[in-house]
Amino acid sequence: MSALRPTNDDSAIWDLWLGQFRLPMVNVNDEVGTFKALSEAALTTDALAAQLGVDARALAMHLAALCSMGLVEKRLGLWRATHLARTWLHPDGAGYWCHFTRHVDYNTTLRARLLTSLRTGKRPGDVSEDTGEVKPRSVEWERGTMSQQVAADIANFMHAHSQAPALGAAAQGVFGELTSLMDIGCGSGIYGIEIARAHPNLKVVLMDLKEMAAEAQKFIDRAGMGARVTTAGVNMFTEQWPRGHDGHFFSNIFHDWSDATCRLLAHKSYEALPVGGRIFLNEILMDDDYTGPFVAAAFSLQMLIGTLGKQYSLAEFRDILGSAGFVDVEAIRTGGGYYSLVSARKP
Ligand X SMILES: C[S@@+](CC[C@H](N)C(=O)[O-])C[C@H]1O[C@@H](n2cnc3c(N)ncnc32)[C@H](O)[C@@H]1O
Binding status of residue 298 toward ligand X by CB under 6 A: no
For the CB of residue 43, give the shortest distance to ligand X in the complex, in Å.
34
Binding status of residue 77 toward ligand X by CB under 6 A: no
Q: In 10 A of CB 336, how many CB atoms? A: 28
Stretch that binds ligand X, among 27-35, 230-238, 266-274, 327-335 (CB under 6 A): 230-238
Nearest residue (CB) to ligand X, 73 versus 283: 283
Stretch that binds ligand X, among 121-129, 251-259, 270-278, 285-293 (CB under 6 A): 251-259
Binding status of residue 256 toward ligand X by CB under 6 A: yes
For the CB of residue 333, give the shortest distance to ligand X in the complex, in Å.
17
Q: Pick from 186, 206, 284, 303: which binds ligand X (CB under 6 A)? A: 186
Burial (Cβ within 10 Å: 0-12, 13-18, ≥19) of residue 192: buried
Task: Round to whole Å and give the CA distance between 113 and 126.
Answer: 9
Stretch that binds ligand X, among 16-24, 167-175, 208-216, 260-268 (CB under 6 A): 208-216
Binding status of residue 257 toward ligand X by CB under 6 A: no
Residue type, 293: P
Binding status of residue 141 toward ligand X by CB under 6 A: yes
Contacts of 155 (CB under 8 A, 6+ apart): 187, 188, 212, 215, 216, 219
Report which residue's Cβ sits closest to ligand X.
Answer: 187
Q: Pick from 187, 309, 336, 337: which binds ligand X (CB under 6 A)? A: 187
Phi-psi group of 27: left, alpha or beta (phi > 0 → left; psi -120 to 50 → alpha; rest → beta)? alpha
Binding status of residue 237 toward ligand X by CB under 6 A: yes
Nearest residue (CB) to ligand X, 37 versus 139: 139
CB 300 within 8 A of CB 25: no
Nearest residue (CB) to ligand X, 299 versus 326: 299
Q: DSSP of 295-336, one letter per residue?
A: HHHHHHHHHHHHSS--PPBHHHHHHHHHHHT-EEEEEEE-SS
Binding status of residue 8 toward ligand X by CB under 6 A: no
- Strand-pairing partners, residue 251, are 282
Binding status of residue 209 toward ligand X by CB under 6 A: yes
Coil, strand, or helix at residue 13?
helix
Binding status of residue 10 toward ligand X by CB under 6 A: no
Nearest to 44 by CA among 26, 28, 63: 63
Q: Pick from 118, 212, 265, 324: which binds ligand X (CB under 6 A)? A: 212
For the CB of residue 250, give the shortest distance to ligand X in the complex, in Å.
7
Nearest residue (CB) to ligand X, 29 versus 252: 252
Nearest residue (CB) to ligand X, 17 versus 237: 237
Binding status of residue 144 toward ligand X by CB under 6 A: yes
For residue 305, which phi and psi values (nearest 5 degrees)? -85, -15
Q: Pick from 251, 269, 302, 343: which binds ligand X (CB under 6 A)? A: 251
For the CB of residue 59, give the shortest distance to ligand X in the complex, in Å.
24
Binding status of residue 247 toward ligand X by CB under 6 A: no
Contacts of 17 (CB under 8 A, 6+ apart): none
Nearest residue (CB) to ligand X, 152 versus 174: 152
Task: Round to whole Å and give the CA distance between 80 and 74.
Answer: 6
CB 161 within 8 A of CB 227: no
Task: Round to whole Å and give the CA distance between 337 and 284.
Answer: 9
Q: Give the footprint of ligand X on this chain (CB under 6 A).
A: 141, 144, 154, 158, 162, 185-187, 190-191, 208-209, 212, 235-237, 251-253, 256
